[in-house]
C-alpha cells in the first residue's frame, strides 16, 4: 500500500456529519493529513451524540449543548470545514468529485462515506402516517416528547434496544405502555435467551405489557392521528401514541449508484476500505467482511462508528490499521445498565456471577471452552475485565468464572506482569 502525501491540493471529503464522520475528520488530522477537510452534513446541527435520544432526553428536557460533540468553532480550530444543511447527492468516481444538492461539484482526494441510516417504517396500512413516531435524530426526540406530554397510553412496536429504552422512558413518565414484538423474546437478535428473560421481567415489573409472537397488521388512525394498532390475530390495542422501533436501513445509496459493492450496507474490509482505494465507508452505513467470503457484519454502535472512522482515516493515508477490538455496546433502561462485549452467538456454556434477582450480575459465554462474550447488568467492573481479556487475547476458563472468590482482574494483571 502506498502512503499518501500529507497535502495534495485536493481536500478529503466526508459525506455525513455524525458520530463517525466527525471522528474520521479528526483522525485524518491525527494521521498527518494537512490539506483541506470538508465535512458535509445534511442535518442543521453539528455532529451530535444519539444515544441519549432514546434515554435521558425522553425523561428530562433535552439540552442540545449536552449532546453536540463539537461546535462549529471547535471544528474550525482543527481546520475542519463543516457544511451543515448540505446533502451529498452523488459520487463521480472517475472525476473524484461529489455532487451536492445544488449541483455544485466538489473534488476530493479521498472520500469517507459516513451517511448512517434511516429508521425502517412499519410496512402496514397506516404505518407511514407522519404521526407514527420513530427516533433517529434530535427533531424526532423533540416531536416525541411533545406528543408524549399529551398521551396517556403508548404502543411501542419492536422490542430491540431503542424500542425497550423508549418503553422504559414512557413507563417512568407514568404512561400505560404496551410493547409488541414479532419474535418469541425481547432483544432476540442481540442477547442470549437468559438476558431476554431478565429484560422481559424488568419491564413487566414496571407495569409494561409485552406481547410476544405478535405482529402488527395495521396502525389505526382516527381524526388523522394514530390511535392504536390491530394485530394479525385481530386484537386491537388502543393508544394515543404509536412508536416504531423496528430497525435501521443503512444509507448506502450513494455507494450503490457509484458502483461500489453493497449488501444492506457498503461492503468494506476491517480497514473500512471499499474496492476503490480513494473511498472508505464507516459506521451504520457499512457492512464488514472480516475475511473475504465470510458473512457480513453490520454493527450499529458508537464504538463501531469511532473505530471504523479511525481505521478508515488511516487507510486513506495509505496505512493499515484494522479495527480488531472486541465489539461492545450498552443500553440504559430504568436504573439498569446493560454492557455487552464480544458476542453470545453460538455459545454452548454460560456461567453467571452475581445477583440475578436484583439485576446485578454478569453472564460469561463460552464456545468449545473458549471465552467469547460477556453481558453485564450493573456490573461495570466485570465488563471492563471481560473487554481486556478479549482485546488482549487472554485465556479465561469456565472454572475461573465459576470460582466466585477469584478476582478476574488478577488474570489481566498476571498477564501484564508476564509481558512486562
Ligand atoms: C436513539 C438512538 C439510541 C442509540 N443508543 C446507542 C447506545 O446506547 N449505544 C451505542 O453504542 N449506540 C447507540 N446508538 C447507535 C449510534 O448512535 C450509531 O451507531 C452511530 O451514531 C453511528 O454513527 P454514524 O456516523 O454511522 O451515523 P450517524 O451518527 O447517524 O450520522 C450519519 C449522518 O449522516 C447524515 N447524512 C446521511 N446521508 C447524507 C448525505 N447524502 N449527505 C450528507 N449527510 C448525510 C445524516 O443526516 C446523519 O447526520 C443509538 C442510536 C439511536 C438513533
Inform me whether the pLDDT recorded for 293 exceeds 90: no
Distance of alpha carbon 89 from the chain centroid: 24
CATH fold, domain 335-419, is Enolase-like; domain 1 (3.30.390)
pLDDT of 27-53, one tens digit each?
A: 999 999 999 999 999 999 999 999 999
Provide mean pLDDT across the span 178-187. 98
Please tell me the distance between residue 64's alpha carbon and the centre of ligand 1 in angstroms: 16
Assigned C-alpha cell, 196: 431476554
CATH fold, domain 138-246, is FAD/NAD(P)-binding domain (3.50.50)
What pLDDT sits at residue 290? 73
What pLDDT sits at residue 418? 87
- Phi first, then psi, for residue 98 (nearest 5°) are -110, 155
Q: In ligand 1, which atom is closest to the CA atom of 328?
A: 11
Residue 37 near ligand 1, beta carbon < 6 Å: no
- Phi first, then psi, for residue 332 (nearest 5°) are -110, 120
**Are the CB atoms for 187 and 212 separated by under 8 Å?**
no
Residue 301 near ligand 1, beta carbon < 6 Å: yes
Residue 119 near ligand 1, beta carbon < 6 Å: no
Q: In ligand 1, which atom is closest to the CA atom of 50?
A: 17
Please tell me the distance between residue 255's alpha carbon and the centre of ligand 1 in angstroms: 17
Residue 15 near ligand 1, beta carbon < 6 Å: yes
pLDDT of 354-402, one tens digit each?
A: 999 999 999 999 999 999 999 999 999 999 999 999 999 999 999 999 9
- Provide the 3-class DSSP secondary structure of residue 358: coil
Q: In which residue ranges of the chain is CATH 3.50.50.60 found?
A: 12-118+249-316, 138-246
Q: In ligand 1, which atom is closest to the CA atom of 284?
A: 26
The band of 1, judged by pLDDT with boundaries at 50, 70 and 90, is: confident
Residue 181 near ligand 1, beta carbon < 6 Å: no
pLDDT of 63-91, one tens digit each?
A: 999 999 999 999 999 999 999 999 999 99
What pLDDT sits at residue 223? 96
Please tell me the distance between residue 257's alpha carbon and the centre of ligand 1 in angstroms: 21
Residue 250 near ligand 1, beta carbon < 6 Å: no
| Distance from C-alpha of 301 to C-alpha of 19, rounded to nearest angstrom | 10
| Number of other CB atoms surrounding residue 373 within 10 Å | 25
Residue 163 near ligand 1, beta carbon < 6 Å: no
| Distance from C-alpha of 221 to C-alpha of 218, rounded to nearest angstrom | 9
Question: What SS3 string covers 252-282?
Answer: CHHHHHCCCCECCCEEECCCCECCCCCEEEC
Q: In ligand 1, which atom is closest to the CA atom of 117?
A: 30
Residue 313 near ligand 1, beta carbon < 6 Å: no
pLDDT of 271-292, one tens digit each?
A: 999 999 999 999 999 999 877 7
pLDDT of 226-247, one tens digit each?
A: 999 999 999 999 999 999 999 9
Residue 300 near ligand 1, beta carbon < 6 Å: yes
Please tell me the distance between residue 35's alpha carbon and the centre of ligand 1 in angstroms: 26
**Are the CB atoms for 328 and 375 separated by under 8 Å?**
no
CATH fold, domain 12-118+249-316, is FAD/NAD(P)-binding domain (3.50.50)
Amino acid at each position: 500500500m502506498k502512503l499518501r502525501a500529507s497535502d495534495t491540493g485536493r481536500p478529503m471529503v466526508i459525506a455525513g456529519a455524525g458520530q463517525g464522520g466527525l471522528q474520521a475528520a479528526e483522525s485524518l488530522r491525527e494521521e498527518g493529513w494537512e490539506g483541506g477537510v470538508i465535512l458535509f452534513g445534511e442535518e442543521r446541527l453539528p455532529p451530535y451524540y444519539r444515544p441519549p435520544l432514546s434515554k435521558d432526553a425522553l425523561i428530562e428536557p433535552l439540552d442540545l449543548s449536552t449532546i453536540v460533540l463539537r461546535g462549529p468553532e471547535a471544528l474550525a480550530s482543527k481546520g475542519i470545514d463543516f457544511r451543515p444543511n448540505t446533502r451529498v447527492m452523488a459520487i463521480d468516481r472517475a472525476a473524484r468529485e461529489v455532487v451536492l444538492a445544488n449541483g455544485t461539484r466538489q473534488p476530493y482526494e479521498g472520500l469517507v462515506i459516513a451517511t448512517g441510516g434511516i429508521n425502517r417504517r412499519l410496512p402496514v396500512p397506516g404505518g407511514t402516517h407522519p404521526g407514527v413516531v420513530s427516533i433517529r435524530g434530535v427533531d424526532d426526540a423533540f416531536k416525541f416528547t411533545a406528543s408524549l406530554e399529551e398521551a396517556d397510553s403508548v404502543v411501542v412496536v419492536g422490542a430491540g434496544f431503542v424500542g425497550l429504552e423508549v418503553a422504559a422512558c414512557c413507563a417512568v413518565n407514568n404512561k400505560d405502555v404496551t410493547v409488541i414484538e414479532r419474535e418469541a423474546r425481547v432483544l432476540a437478535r442481540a442477547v442470549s435467551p437468559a438476558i431476554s428473560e431478565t429484560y422481559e421481567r424488568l419491564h413487566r415489573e414496571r407495569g409494561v405489557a409485552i406481547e410476544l409472537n405478535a405482529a402488527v397488521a395495521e396502525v389505526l388512525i382516527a381524526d388523522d392521528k394514530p390511535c392504536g394498532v390491530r394485530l394479525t390475530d385481530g386484537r386491537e390495542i388502543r393508544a394515543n401514541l404509536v412508536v416504531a422501533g423496528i430497525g435501521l436501513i443503512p444509507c448506502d445509496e450513494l455507494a450503490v449508484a457509484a458502483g461500489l459493492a453493497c449488501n444492506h450496507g457498503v461492503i468494506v474490509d476491517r480497514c473500512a476500505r471499499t474496492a476503490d482505494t480513494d473511498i472508505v465507508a464507516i459506521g451504520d452505513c457499512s457492512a464488514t467482511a472480516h475475511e473475504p467470503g465470510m458473512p457480513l457484519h453490520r454493527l450499529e454502535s458508537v464504538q463501531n462508528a469511532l473505530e471504523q472512522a479511525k481505521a478508515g482515516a488511516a487507510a486513506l493515508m495509505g496505512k493499515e490499521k484494522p479495527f480488531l477490538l472486541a465489539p461492545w455496546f450498552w443500553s440504559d433502561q430504568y436504573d439498569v445498565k446493560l454492557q455487552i462485549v464480544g458476542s453470545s452467538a453460538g455459545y454452548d456454556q454460560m456461567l453467571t456471577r452475581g445477583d440475578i434477582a436484583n439485576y446485578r450480575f454478569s453472564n460469561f459465554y463460552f464456545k468449545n471452552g473458549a471465552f467469547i462474550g460477556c453481558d453485564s447488568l450493573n456490573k461495570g467492573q466485570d465488563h471492563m475485565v471481560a473487554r481486556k481479556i478479549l482485546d488482549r487475547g487472554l485465556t479465561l476458563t469456565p472454572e475461573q468464572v465459576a470460582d466466585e472468590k477469584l478476582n478476574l482482574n488478577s488474570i489481566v494483571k498476571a498477564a501484564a506482569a508476564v509481558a512486562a
